[in-house]
Structures are given as structure tokens and as C-alpha cells.
Amino acid sequence: MTLTRARVGWAAAGVAAAAVVAATSLAAVHAGDVASRATSLPVAVAQVEATERPGEPVGPAELASHTVVTPVDRASGSWVSAVSVATGVGGVALQAYADATLAVARLAPGCHLGWTTLAAIGTVESGNGTHGGAQLLPDGRPSIPIVGPALDGTAGTAAIPSQPEDTAWHGDAAWSHAVGPMQFLPSTWSRWASDGDGDGVQDPNDVDDAALAAARYLCASGRDLATPEGWHAAVLSYNHDDAYVALVLATANGFAAAAGR
């Protein structure tokens, strides 16, 4: 689910699916780029059904498993600064993507999720938290709310009625909206809610929390994102649109090339 969906085919993306193995999934934050080590992990990687994606409602809430614990490993400030300059991804967002990559590397070591994939998804979904003139504040939240269009069945959207408990996230009592930098539906957030910065709050508007939730989602069901098939399946589960997958792939590979890894 994207605020603006570009129609880009695989050929137009200018990259092959196999390129993701070298340029995306293996473009992780290296051990030397870690500023601190935590003694405990955030939340367990859950299982996701093949029909689920952040733009669709999923099963009942599983908040009981989302225990708030101490913050996870954090990427060093020097790494974030250098890569932010090289890629143009804002430092607050990049810190969140890198930290989520480090967290999921410990939670699901067989996943091989790269920060470039999270950064590419964040770019496509909300311009890394800058959609509509927003800016990410130091606490990871946008200066103005990032709310997707009403999912009312028009303009190619699904028709998803709002639930009473969802209205607080987007303000629409009639129809649901995706929210935050990674554009989670409230109904999906209720299952994948995460606390990426250890502040005791699970907030889809906080890029730290949303990035960790997205990382957990992408790594669900034992996917190995170091393979073209695993990467494609993971990103396609986030948005069931081949043009979306192609755009994320091209963006991720662009970040990897710019960062030199």
C-alpha cells in the first residue's frame, strides 16, 4: 500500500531480480558499525500467512507477544551520517532502518534482510517520512501526520471499513487508512506492533517502531531474503503489485550502489 503507486515494469526498473542478492539483502550493517549491544531482544518473529500484507486486515491481535524490552543494537552515528549523505535518506529514518536490520539479524538470522530493502520500502511508501511536507523529528515521529487515502473502494483501492479502535490513528470513522512512514493499516499494526526504540510505546507513526515491524513482517515464515525468490516473495507480501516490487528493487539497488555496499 503506497501513497503514490508508480507503474514500473521489471524491464523499466533496469535491474534483474538476481541483483538483489548482492545489492540488497547482503547490504547489511556490519558488526563494526554497531554502536551498542543490548542484552535482550525486542519481539519474536511471528508467522504470516501468504495472504497477509500490511495493506490488508489480518488475524486477531497478538499484542501479548509484543513485550516491551530494552532497546536493540544501534548503528553507529558515524555510519548513519556517512550513508545518509551518500544516499539522501534522512538520518532519522536511516537510523531506524539500520537498527531494525540489526534487530532482525538476531531475531531471524536466516532472513538476511538488508537496510537497503527497508529504506527502499520507506522511500516508496512515504518518502522516508516526508510525504506531504512532513519531516521526521528526532523522536522518529513525523511533524505532521502521514495518512494514506481512504480505502473506500474507489480509485483502485480496497474497500476496508474503519473499526472503532482504528479511528484514533487516522480520524475517519467510515473507512480505514494506512498510517505512518511505513504505511501500516491499524488492523495490521495490531498484530505486528513493535517498539523499535525501547520507549515503551508501539506507534506506527514512529519510524523506529514501524521499521522494526516491517522488518519482522518481511522476515516472517522463514523467508531468506538473500535469495531472489525469498526477497521477491517478501516484498510482494508487503504490496501485491509487481510494479511495486520492481520499484522497491530498483530503489534498493540504487541505495546499495550509492553507499558502496
- Asked if the model's pLDDT at residue 177 lies above 60, the reply is yes
What confidence tens digit (pLDDT) does each residue in 12-44 have? 222 333 344 334 444 445 444 544 333 233 333
pLDDT of residue 61: 28
Inter-residue contact 48 to 78 (CB < 8 Å):
no
Mean pLDDT of 81-95: 97
pLDDT of residue 40: 32
Please give the backbone phi and psi of residue 147, each rounded to the nearest 5 degrees, phi first. -125, 125
pLDDT of residue 72: 58
67: helix, strand or coil: coil
Name the pLDDT band for 261 (thresholds 50, 70, 90).
low
Q: How does DSSP classify residue 116?
A: H
Inter-residue contact 67 to 251 (CB < 8 Å):
no
pLDDT of residue 228: 96
Question: What span, in angstroms and rounded, lies between the C-alpha atoms of 164 and 143?
Answer: 25
- Asked if the model's pLDDT at residue 119 lies above 70, the reply is yes
User: Rounded to 10 degrees, what is the CA torsion of 242, 194, 223, 237?
Assistant: -20
User: Which position has the grid cell 531475531?
Assistant: 107
Mean pLDDT of 141-169: 86
pLDDT of residue 174: 72
- Asked if the model's pLDDT at residue 75 lies above 70, the reply is yes
pLDDT of residue 29: 53
Q: How many helices (H) and strands (E) does the chain have?
A: 10, 2
What is the model's pTM? Answer: 0.78
Task: Give the dihedral sign, CA 228/231/235/240.
Answer: positive
Closest CA to 43 of 123, 119, 110, 103: 103
Question: What span, in angstroms and rounded, lies between the C-alpha atoms of 107 and 89?
Answer: 25
- Asked if the model's pLDDT at residue 52 lies above 60, the reply is no
